[in-house]
Amino acid sequence: MSINSLKITIVVLLVSFAGLRMVSGQSALDLRINEVLVENNSNYVDDFGEHSPWIEIFNSAYNSVDIGGLYLTDDLSNPTKYRIARGQQITLIPPRSYLVFWANNQPSHGIRHLNFVLQEGKTIALYDANGRTLIDSVTIPYSMQPDITYGRKVDGGDVWVNLAKSTPGANNDTEFHPLAADKFLEVDPSGSGMAFVAMTVVFTALAILFVFFKNLSRVLKMDMSKQRIARTLAKARLGRDTEGAVDKPETEEEFNVSGEVNAAIAMTLYLYSAELHDAENTVLTINKVSRTYSPWSSKIYGLRKSPN
């Protein structure tokens, strides 16, 4: 392996390792308090069929994050007020997904039921497993309306608003956003612009490939020339040029000998070493036979009886 290939391999491995570290580095710090409901009269019901206040946690990472072992509280002076149980499948939040906790002061109902209730003006906070690192917090505003949730306008975003629709366990942004293809269709209904863009991309890519391979062939030819010069200099140093002149560098055709030529040379050398041909074209070589008699002179083939 050449030095350049080794360098490229090392760079690829370092980049891959950094990417893995970046992915694995996504942790509980990527969790966000995403939406809260203080007064639940006819909204989302819990697993006991009760209308309770709730808190939605959003995983903004692109890998699963386990919220187990973290703390939820409504009192910043007591950050470890409610510890979320560890080792539960339900606490593993998939990428870009949600988990709802019920703030009904009934922790005996399950691990998603907190030991406090939501109140206007209170600050809800999420702490790391060490009980000291604040991950996220939100202060509930006063004059909250029944069944109207207070959440981020965009999941994980910085802007908090009273949401038009309650979205527990779902995307807060419920507005219609046209796709890029729809917008392009409005600008170019006939498709001619799309065809022009596509052809431009194709021909641009072909031009880039042409320039790349053309420069690559030049580099390869320069490398072959350097190799031929190096071989010529090596022959000169070894004294192979008996007349003191440097051998003429081989041409590309002489350097690339075909397989048929190699086979013919090998066969000629074999025949010469085995002496299976005449040295002169006018002399016929007869090898001595292994049998010393001829069947034609054998007596057994002679006439023993006179014909009638």
CA dist 96 and 307 (Å) reads 118
Is residue 16 within a helix (H) or strand (E), and if so which, with residue range? helix 3-25
Q: According to the model, what pLDDT value does residue 224 have?
A: 75
Beta-strand relationship, 160-162 and 150-152: antiparallel
Confidence of residue 266 (pLDDT cuts 50, 70, 90): confident
| Residue 16 φ then ψ, to 5° | -65, -40
Helices 192-238 and 180-187: crossing angle in degrees, nearest 10, is 110
pTM greater than the 0.85 cutoff = no
Q: Which residues contact 250 (CB under 8 A, 6 or more apart)?
A: 228, 231
Q: According to the model, what pLDDT value does residue 160 have?
A: 96
Give every strand in the sheet of 150-152, ordered side by side. 98-102, 54-59, 31-37, 150-152, 160-162
Mean per-residue pLDDT, 28-48 = 94
Residue 275 has pLDDT above 80, yes or no: no
Yes or no: domain 28-177 corresponds to CATH 2.60.40.1260: yes
Residue 61 has pLDDT above 70, yes or no: yes
CA dist 111 and 25 (Å) reads 26
Highest mean pLDDT among 146-160, 197-211, 226-240, 253-267: 146-160
Residue 40 has pLDDT above 80, yes or no: yes
Q: According to the model, what pLDDT value does residue 226 have?
A: 72
Is residue 271 within a helix (H) or strand (E), and if so which, with residue range? helix 259-274
Q: According to the model, what pLDDT value does residue 167 have?
A: 93
81 versus 181: which is more confidently predicted? 81
Dihedral class, residue 276 (left if φ above 0, else alpha if ψ from -120 to 50, else beta): alpha
| pLDDT tens digits, 11-30 | 666 766 555 544 444 589 99
SS3 (DSSP) at 97: coil
- What is the dihedral angle through the alpha carbons of 290, 294, 299, 305, rounded to the nearest 10 degrees? 140
Report the percent of the chain where pLDDT is more than 70: 71
Residue 230 has pLDDT above 70, yes or no: yes
Q: Which residues contact 43 (CB under 8 A, 6 or more apart)?
A: 37, 51, 147, 149, 166
Highest mean pLDDT among 152-161, 223-232, 274-283: 152-161
Residue ranges of domains in the chain = 28-177, 180-285
Residue 231 has pLDDT above 70, yes or no: yes
